[in-house]
A = this chain, B = another copy of it.
Amino acid sequence: MPDEPVTLEQVAAAAGVSRSTASRALAGKARECRISPKTEAAILLAAKGLGFQPSHVARSLRNRRSGLIGLLVPDASNPFFAAIARKATVFAERHGLSTLLADSHDSIEHEKELLQHLQSRQVEGLIICSIGGTHEHLRSLERTGASVVVVDRWFADVHLPTVTSDNERGALLATTAILKQGHQQIGCLQGRPGTSSNDERLAGFKAALASAGASQDACLIRGDDFSEASGYRAACELLDEHPSLSAMFAFSNQNALGALRAFSERKLNVPHDISLVMFDDAPFAEYLAAPLSVIRQDVEAIGHRAAELLIDQIRTGQRPQELLHRLPVEFVARESIGSPRKPAKATDP
C-alpha cells in the first residue's frame, strides 16, 4: 500500500529514545527492563500519535515465527471445505495466527506446488486435504516434523494427525436404511476412488449389503470423484444399464445433485420411482422435491478439531498421541427413501 508505514525507528525518534527502549516499552516489558514510567508513557504516546503498526514481516524474520498457518484444499468453494476454512481461520486468529488459503483445484501437481509455496512462506502449521495419488510430499512433511493436520482423507502410508468422519459407519447406516425398505439393488455413486473418505464409505456400503445377505453386485458402483458431473454420469449409466434399480446412495452433495439431474431428465420421481440417500447434510436437503435422507457429518466440528490439533502441535512442537480422530455421524431420515416400485420388470434386461 502506497503509504509508507510508520516504523519503530520513527516512534523512538519521536519519543527521544532508542529503538531498543521503544521496542521493550511497546512489548509491555517496561517494568522488567527498568524503563522509567515517564519514558514509557512518552513512547506509548508517540506510538499512538503516529499510528504505529509493528511490521509483522520484520518481526517474523527476527523471531523466526511467521504467525501464519496454511490451509490447502481441493476446492475452497465447496461448502464442506469452506466451512472448515471458516472454523480454522477464526480459531487461528484467536491464537494470533493468520491463515493462508490455497486451492489445489483437485490437482496433485498444484497441490505439491502450493505446498512448496506455503513452506517458503514459513507457515508454522498446515491443514491439508490432499488429493491423494502420490504421498511423497506428505511423507516428507511427516519426516520433517512439521505441524500438520490432514482433514477428511487419510493415507495408509502417511502417519499424520487426521480428522475425519466415521465414514464407514455412516455408509452402513444409510445402506441399511435403504435395505430395510426392501430394495434389492442399490446403485452406489461413489466419489474419488483411492481417497479414504470414499473407500471407507464403500466399505460400509458393502458391509451392509453383506450382512443383509444381498447380492454383492460390484457393477452397481460407479463414479470417479465427488463432483456433480461424476454423480450425473454415474447415475445415468446405472439407470440405463439397470432399469430395475430402485435406490441410490450418493457419496457427496454434488454427486446427489448430479443424480437428481439424471432422475429429472428421466422423469423419475423420488421416492416413488427411486430412492436416494446422500452423504453429508446440506441446508437445502429438507426442501428438495423429496426431502433427502442424509448422513450428517459435523463439518464444523471437523474444522474446529483440526484447528485445535494444529495449534496444539505448534505450541508444544509435538504430534498428538492419537493420530486418527474420527467424528461421529448421524443418519437423518427424511422422505427420500421409499419402498421399491412394484417390480414390473423384476430382473435386469
- Known A122-B55, A283-B257; contact A79-B76, beta-carbon cutoff 8 A: no
Judge whether A102 is part of the interface by a CB distance below 8 angstroms: yes
Is the Cβ of B53 less than 8 Å from the Cβ of A116? Answer: yes
Is the Cβ of A2 less than 8 Å from the Cβ of B145? Answer: yes
List, in ascending order, chain B residues with CB within 8 A of A286's CB: 261, 264
By beta carbon, the residue of chain B nearest A73 is B86
Judge whether A298 is part of the interface by a CB distance below 8 angstroms: no
Judge whether A34 is part of the interface by a CB distance below 8 angstroms: no
Is the Cβ of B317 less than 8 Å from the Cβ of A144? Answer: no
Give Cα distance in the complex from A264 to B98, angstroms: 42
Is the Cβ of A1 less than 8 Å from the Cβ of B93? Answer: no
Judge whether A89 is part of the interface by a CB distance below 8 angstroms: yes
Give Cα distance in the complex from A254 to B82, angstroms: 16
Is the Cβ of B260 less than 8 Å from the Cβ of A144? Answer: no
Give Cα distance in the complex from A3 to B102, angstroms: 22
Q: Tell which of B61, B90, B114 touches A58, judged by Cβ atoms closer than 8 Å.
A: B61
**Which chain A residues in 163-180 approach chain B with CB under 8 Å?**
none
Q: How far is the CB of A288 from chain B (nearest CB, A)?
A: 5
Give Cα distance in the complex from A83 to B282, angstroms: 17
Q: How far is the CB of A26 from chain B (nearest CB, A)?
A: 13
Q: How far is the CB of A59 from chain B (nearest CB, A)?
A: 9
List, in ascending order, chain B residues with CB within 8 A of A121's CB: 56-57, 98
Judge whether A199 is part of the interface by a CB distance below 8 angstroms: no
Give Cα distance in the complex from A144 to B3, angstroms: 6
List, in ascending order, chain B residues with CB within 8 A of A254's CB: 283
A 211-248 to B, binary, CB cutoff 8 A, 1 in contact else 0: 00000000000000000100000000000000000000
Give 11 new A-B contacts, CB below 8 A, not counting A56-B121, A82-B82, A89-B103.
A1-B125, A2-B146, A57-B60, A57-B66, A90-B103, A98-B102, A282-B284, A287-B289, A288-B288, A288-B289, A289-B290
Q: Which positions in A face B, CB cutoff 8 Å?
A: 1-3, 5, 53-58, 60-61, 66, 71, 75-79, 82-83, 85-86, 89-90, 93, 98-103, 105, 114, 116-125, 144-147, 228, 254, 257, 260-261, 264, 282-284, 286-290, 317
